[in-house]
Amino acid sequence: MTIYDYDVLVIGGGPAGSNAAWRTRGAGLSTLVVEKDAFPRFRIGESLLPHGNALLRETGVWPKIERAGFIEKYGASFHLSNGAADKHVVFSQALVPGLEKTYQVERAKFDALLLDHAREAGAEVHTQTIVRAVTAEGEGHRVALETTTGGTEVTARWIIDASGRDQFFPSEIKRALEPARTPKRIAIYNHFRGVARAAGPVGGNTVVVRLPDGWFWIIPIDAERTSVGLVTTVEAMRQTRAEPADLFRQTVAASQKLSELMAGASPVMDFHVTSDYSYFRKNLAADNRVLAGDAGGFFDPIFSSGVYMATYSAKLAAELVVRAHREKRAITPREGHRYSRRVKAHAGVFQKLITAFYDNDSFAVFMCPQPPMNLSPAITAIVAGHARLIWPIRWRFYVFLLVCRLQHRIPLVPRIDFTGMDAVAPQPLAAR
């Protein structure tokens, strides 16, 4: 029988990696986290969902998050860029209790806090170390690492790949991609000072502004700085022929709502661009390796689901590994499919809401202050991250989706005025 250096090697120290490491270590498995960057490091994705609080509480990191001084988030405001419609989602009005509040987090600080927590629980953490190659070794793996001082190798029985959208693992489970059901999108973002904020607790809410081809997010991350990003289609971006930062500024200028909010704003760093980020791997677990977080799949971040999905999948991934380890066997195909199904069931709920958000008729239903049959509290619960469709949420959600479909033919809720929301005009060729 092969003796491995570690029971578990986790690739990546983001929310998925640090949560998985805390859980495998807590179950008594020796765990190494390998993270290529020096922490703290910049990451986009600052808005948490209240339903994810429980997952963070389970690992004991929640009190540290509460003490860290992050901005409190009690809901989210949705606006049409021409100012014709507004909706304020208040988490305390969700169908399910316990979803009242969460936080907006600067990811550099938040991710470092989670990784330190895994380290304190006994996981070994090597930062500035890159996983370069993984090869089979007995029933486990031999892993080639590159550190700041050179190359080295370790062995591990299990691998949890939490390498995010970098998608390290060159395996079949990683290669098989499910076809994207949405147009390719691109995000252009920065942190700003001087973005207008509502007074009082609602000033901590996420603001989403719907555009003709996409949307803007505005997320306060501390007393002064706000994360602001534009999401549009790659095709719309190509048509404008503008550079990303120029397109960002022109889109702000073209929207009444954004112009108001961004009137006194100045960027604090260079603009970042992330493109074509929606995908899902077919099978998320097989034999002796599991994909967790963005490494398994990622979709449009309108509803801020990424960190929740990362910590949720990390929990399931760790449970899968711990169970198989204790029973001295590999992950069975059945377990692998079950894990994939459970993660994708939650992803599917968010994806349905995202599809509704991009469709003008369905968006009118989403934005309606009082949709028929008192559907709002259920939709609020899902916007708060409650993707586990317990029956009272489930039937209301499916009625909501039905109303969205019917809205194409019969206006069951008042239609929204989308006029004056033209996309940014293409640049003349000479201006490029």
Ligand X SMILES: Cc1cc2nc3c(=O)[nH]c(=O)nc-3n(C[C@H](O)[C@H](O)[C@H](O)COP(=O)(O)OP(=O)(O)OC[C@H]3O[C@@H](n4cnc5c(N)ncnc54)[C@H](O)[C@@H]3O)c2cc1C
Summarize as ranges the residues that interact with ligand X (CB under 6 A). 11-17, 34-37, 43-47, 130-131, 162-166, 168, 187, 189, 229, 274, 277, 293-295, 298, 301, 304, 306-308, 310
Residue 425 C-beta: closest distance to ligand X, Å: 25
The angle formed by the CA atoms of residues 320, 382 and 314, to the nearest 5 degrees, is 20
Is the Cβ of residue 270 or residue 327 nearer to ligand X in the bound state?
Answer: 270
Residue 326 C-beta: closest distance to ligand X, Å: 25
Asked if 311 contacts 52 with a C-beta cutoff of 8 angstroms, the reply is yes
Is the Cβ of residue 104 or residue 407 nearer to ligand X in the bound state?
Answer: 104
Is the Cβ of residue 47 or residue 288 nearer to ligand X in the bound state?
Answer: 47
Is the Cβ of residue 159 or residue 416 nearer to ligand X in the bound state?
Answer: 159
Indicate the helix (H) or strand (E) that contains 34: strand 31-34
Q: Among 168, 205, 185, which Cα is nearest to 300's?
A: 185
Is the Cβ of residue 44 or residue 399 nearer to ligand X in the bound state?
Answer: 44
Residue 43 C-beta: closest distance to ligand X, Å: 5
Residue 327 C-beta: closest distance to ligand X, Å: 27
Asked if 306 contacts 294 with a C-beta cutoff of 8 angstroms, the reply is yes
Structure tokens at 126: 């090597």
Asked if 311 contacts 55 with a C-beta cutoff of 8 angstroms, the reply is yes
Residue 117 C-beta: closest distance to ligand X, Å: 14
Asked if 233 contacts 212 with a C-beta cutoff of 8 angstroms, the reply is no
Is the Cβ of residue 22 or residue 416 nearer to ligand X in the bound state?
Answer: 22
Is the Cβ of residue 80 or residue 105 nearer to ligand X in the bound state?
Answer: 105
| All residues at 6 or more sequence positions from 322 whose CB lies less than 8 Å from its CB, including other chains | 23, 24, 27, 29
Residue 240 C-beta: closest distance to ligand X, Å: 19
Is the Cβ of residue 50 or residue 371 nearer to ligand X in the bound state?
Answer: 50
Count of other CB atoms within 10 angstroms of residue 250:
17
Looking at residue 388, its amino acid is R
Buried b (16+ CB within 10 A) or exposed e, 10-48: bbbbbbbbbbbbbbbbbbebbbbbbbbbebeeebbbbbb
Q: Among 103, 113, 104, 106, which Cα is nearest to 43's?
A: 106
Q: Among 49, 247, 27, which Cα is nearest to 158's?
A: 27
Residue 228 C-beta: closest distance to ligand X, Å: 11
Residue 295 C-beta: closest distance to ligand X, Å: 6
Residue 321 C-beta: closest distance to ligand X, Å: 16
| All residues at 6 or more sequence positions from 57 whose CB lies less than 8 Å from its CB, including other chains | none
Is the Cβ of residue 206 or residue 407 nearer to ligand X in the bound state?
Answer: 206
Query: How far out from the chain centre does Cα 45 lie?
Result: 6
- Report the alpha-carbon distance of residue 414 to residue 13 in Å, rounded: 47
